[in-house]
Structure 1
Amino acid sequence: MDLSRTLPPHPIEHLPAAPAQLQVHSEDFEDNGPLPKSAGFGFGNTSPQLSWSGAPEGTKSYLLVCHDPDAPVLGGFTHWAVMGLPADVTSLPAGAGEFGRHFGEGAVTLENDFGTKDYGGAAPPEGDAPHRYVFTVWALDTDRTGLDGSTSVAKAQFSTLGNVLARGHLTGTYEQ
């Protein structure tokens, strides 16, 4: 199958502007640089180290989402999402996305598009152009969203739109 296509714009361009900016960093890759091989689905399936700073006063929790907008399906592909990360959690070590990981009181790992509640590694089709993996962190003014682990990633993002204090992202690339 020929996977040639025009890739979509960066997904952050389609989000409403956030009141403030978070700085998101990784010890494992630079912004717009390649993810480590171990972040791939068949090569360790290890989520990269992430940290963020610049949360405004009043931050009570974070929402983290890793999304591949370049997957050859409608709407892209979500690889990882954690809702309700406590305000004092501002970094995650490599491998934090493993199944069953506890991130603190109130934090919930949501089901990704693989159908699992963990980090699903980068998995662009072999021969496809490099895919972008966008790690986005939202600082929220609430730790009580009323949502639980059965919530879809899209619903978590939509339901917290009115609670966003700041947002930041870091983009990695991966190819087979």
Structure 2
Amino acid sequence: MAILHYFEFLLGRLLYPIRGHDSRQIIHCPAFKDLAQPNMTLEATDIGPSGSKLPLSCTCKAEDGRGALPKLCWTAPNSREEVKEYVLLCEDLDPPIPFIVFHHGLLWAIPASTNKAEPKDIAPGEHAKISRQTVAGWRFVPNVRGTPYVGAGAPLGHGKHRYVFTIIALSESLKFQAPETASKKEIKRAMEGKVIGWAQWTGVFEKPWPH
């Protein structure tokens, strides 16, 4: 097992320069062209200010091996338009693959009356693989593990990764003919002309050497 850890570490060091794909994050897609600056607040008060280290319970080093969503809360946007729906996204900006950001969670159809997200909200519903709905009734786009959310999991040796959580307020609800198959690309396109607010909070994680 130790040999695998050394191999992962050496590969991580080799690929260390490949990181910092900030220009690929969602706020740089066309849907945000008229709202370049955030006009909301997003906080993870149990952890600290943006840029804080994620606790192990929110990472791949959690007891369940998956990691929990940090408890997040947000304010409504400073906008004349009424919020109809929220979208919540978590992106890893530093994966060791050129020009790629990984989404760890992409949740949409979050009611306008909602101002927080907790792990219980994003647990997969009874028929989540088909409906792509959480127990709270929110929709999700599956991550690489096919789940609504998976915690931080930077490769050993690749240094610190930034996990950027973005809350997005929309003036219209997203509608798809088949919402259970909506992709990240389709959601980004559907948000165009509807974004009236957004904010970000960043958590940082560097995978520790296994005991």
Q: How do 1:68-87 and structure 2 match up within 5 A?
A: 68-73=92-97, 74-87=99-112
Q: Kindly state the Cα deviation for residue 13 of structure 1 after the two structures are TM-superposed.
A: 6.5
**Partner amino acid, structure 2, of 1:103:** A
Matches within 5 A, 1:13-32: 14-15=28-29, 16-18=33-35, 21-29=39-47, 30-32=49-51
Change (3 A) 1:8 1:89: same
- Contact 2:84–2:173 at 8 Å: present in 1 too? yes
| Residue 57 of structure 2, aligned match among 38, 51, 57 | 38
User: Cα offset for 1:94?
Assistant: 4.1
Give 4+ residue runs of structure 1 displaced > 4 Å after superposition: none
Q: Structure 1: any 5+ residue segments left out of the alignment?
A: none
Structure 2 spans left out of the alignment, 5+ residues: 1-10, 126-133
| Residue 158 (structure 1) shift | 2.4
Do the aligned partners of residues 68 and 95 (structure 1) sit closer, same or farther apart at CA in structure 2, a change above 3 Å counting?
Answer: farther
Q: How many residue pairs align between the two structures?
A: 173
Identity, in percent, stands at 25
TM-score, length of structure 1 as denominator length: 0.87
Kept in 1, the 8 Å contact 2:164–2:203? The answer is yes
1:58 pairs, out of 64, 82, 100, with 82
**What amino acid does structure 1 have at the position aligned with 2:35?**
A
Query: TM-score by structure 2 length?
Result: 0.74
> Residues of 2 paired with 1:65 and 1:4: CA distance?
25
Counterparts of 2:140 and 2:18, CA distance in 1: 32
1:27 Cα offset (Å):
1.9
Distance, in Å, in 2 between the alignment partners of 1:23 and 1:144 is 22
Separation in 2, partners of 1:49, 1:156: 24
Q: Distance in 1 between matches of 2:17 and 2:27?
A: 20
Over 3 Å counting, the alpha-carbon distance change for 1:148 and 1:13 in structure 2 is closer
Alignment pair present for 1:125 and 2:149: no
Do the aligned partners of 2:122 and 2:135 also contact (CA within 8 Å) in 1?
Answer: no
Does structure 2 retain, via aligned residues, the 8 Å contact 1:49–1:95? Answer: no
Taking only aligned residues, the RMSD between alpha carbons, in angstroms, comes to 2.1
CA deviation map 1:35-58 (0-9, x unaligned): 111011241411100011032341
The structure with the largest helix share of the pair is 2
Residue of structure 2 equivalent to 1:67: 91
